[in-house]
Amino acid sequence: MLRGMHKGVSHIGKVPEGLMESHTRHQRLEELRTKLEQAIASESYEIAAGLRDEIRTLDEVKI
């Protein structure tokens, strides 16, 4: 019944101010942390250092 009333099952509308930026930042941090773990496991320490620095930069920025 609801599917007939609505265009889909996902919400498409306004997002509270700052929520989208926060969500995007959180996703990017998770992605960087995963890549950091992979770089450390493969002993690519130069890449790991760059990822660590980028993570620190994103952690310092508060939205």
Residue 22 CA to residue 30 CA, distance in Å, equals: 12
The reply to whether 54 falls in a domain is yes
Quote the number of domains for the chain: 1
Region of residue 10 (left: phi > 0; alpha: psi -120 to 50; beta: else) = beta
The reply to whether 37 falls in a domain is yes
The reply to whether 5 falls in a domain is no
The reply to whether 7 falls in a domain is no
- The domain in which residue 30 lies consists of 15-60
What's the whole-model pTM score? 0.68
Contact 54, 42 (CB under 8 A): no
pLDDT digits (tens, 9 = 90+) for 4-62: 666 666 666 777 777 888 888 889 999 999 999 999 999 999 999 999 999 999 988 76
